[in-house]
Chain A
Amino acid sequence: MGIYSCLGKTLDEVKTSLYTGKSGIVFDPVRKEMGFRSALTAKLDEPNLKGVLSRNQRVYMAEECKYAYAATKDALDYAKLDLDYLEKHAVGLLYGNDSSADAVVKSVDTMREKKDTTLVGSGAIFQSMNSTVTMNLGTLFKLRGINMTVSAACASGSHAIGLGSLLIKWGLQDIIVCGGAQEVNPFSIGSFDGISAFSARESEPTKASRPFDRDRDGLVPGGGAATVIIEEYEHAVKRGAPILGEIMGYGFSSNGDHISSPNVDGPANSLKMCLEQAKMNIKDIGYINAHATSTHVGDTNEAKAIYNVFGDQKVPVTSTKGQTGHEMWMAGASEIIYSMLMMKNDFIAANLNFENPDEDSAKLNIPGERISAHFDTFLSNSFGFGGTNSTLIVKNL
């Protein structure tokens, strides 16, 4: 695993942030000057890759690629995979990403101003495409297996891991680099702000993202990148790789409904399919990492979907987005890492800012404070615009 997030740039830093309930959310005055309704965002500095990668390597990397490079380098090191190995074996790459707005905006600005396409430079096309992350990571790490970006809105990272697990299950790949990346620049989410999706609680940035809380008023955008290396079990054993967990199930569904408003049946179907694929019972699940983004309808319908499937089982449910904001294309991957860190360290981080339940969240077991908990299996939900749903179940090893 490797991660570059507002909660830290190493697994240890992130674990500590989860444990202490640190919020990564700030007020960004630049967004206010740009006319944003809400200037709240997760704070994240770009990694400085000068001296690490050459100019001719960096020039093709959009913001989110830099996060993904940092996370993937750490994940590959952790998994004991070096460039020599990667050059000699068909290691795959499936990464979630669904925008590269900053690069697009800058190149269009240049074309409009200068009326000369040469002046957008050679990097623009490679930075502008949704597949910018997989183009760059595939090249930089000499990857020779499947190489594909998964664009499925806020479920992108989760689907990338789920699809990767199927390719391994079917024997088509031994190792796949999976993950999700999300740009944090204002251009990437201005249109999101335009539909009033963001919390307007600007006077209290660290209290703005409050999944499942009665007084939530919208999400807070975040980002970065998270990478998990998935590998066929026997292959990993033979290689002497550190094995952290097993992907037991991948469930998915589409709502076939409204483009932005989620429903209950779609997510519930994804949960049920995941349990079936994992051949598991609701009693086997020790923790649920919810998608809950701190929006009214989204959290309500997810709470209903979880209750529909889990009933009064009272499995602890939290959304880490109270700390991170919504990491969107990255979230499905980062939340696997957050959950893994909690599972490995016997705690469940507080569902930050969960002070008062509403009618639906009251039916779930949502700890507003960190709890000590030993669990060996967790379920992670990710849902996205267009009604795309993805659920993963991971077991401790």
Chain B
Amino acid sequence: MENQELIAHINEVLADEFEIEVSDITPDANIKETLQLDSLSLVDMVALIENEFCVKIQNSELPTIQSFADLYAFIGARMSK
């Protein structure tokens, strides 16, 4: 999957699950603030990424993923392995 396609796909599934507009998502935006995630719905985001992209985000890795750009990079890197 090309990078832009991957980003569009990630944005689409996140917007759909957390009921926001895709246009609300920008690379530098904070994920928790944009998706209105608390400690519980953060689990749902991790599960969504795992189900959709077969990429498991470990708890210890979560602090490194703050922005959408961080998330795109994390998923992209894992999928290319």
Contacts and interface: CB of A to CB of B under 8 A. Distances in A.
Interface of A: 50, 54-56, 59, 116, 118-123
Looking at chain B's contact residues, is the secondary structure mostly helix, strand, loop, or mixed? helix
B47 A119 contact: yes
Contact of A56 (B38, B46, B47, B50): B38
A114 to B, nearest CB: 9
A55 B40 contact: no
Contact of B50 (A55, A59, A118, A122): A118
Given A59-B41, A122-B44, 19 more contacts: A50-B19, A54-B19, A55-B17, A55-B18, A55-B19, A56-B38, A59-B44, A116-B50, A116-B56, A118-B43, A118-B46, A118-B47, A119-B51, A120-B47, A121-B44, A121-B47, A122-B40, A122-B41, A122-B43
Nearest to A119: B47
B36 interface: yes
Contacts of B50: 116, 118-119
Contacts of A123: 44
B21 to A, nearest CB: 13
A50 B16 CA distance: 12
Interface string B42-62: 011011001100001000000
A371 B19 CA distance: 51
A122 B47 CA distance: 9
B43 A56 contact: no
Contacts of B40: 56, 122
Most B-side CB within 10 Å, residue of A54, A59, A118, A120: A118
B59 to A, nearest CB: 9
Contacts of B44: 59, 121-123
Contacts of A122: 40-41, 43-44
A50 B38 CA distance: 19
Contacts of A120: 47
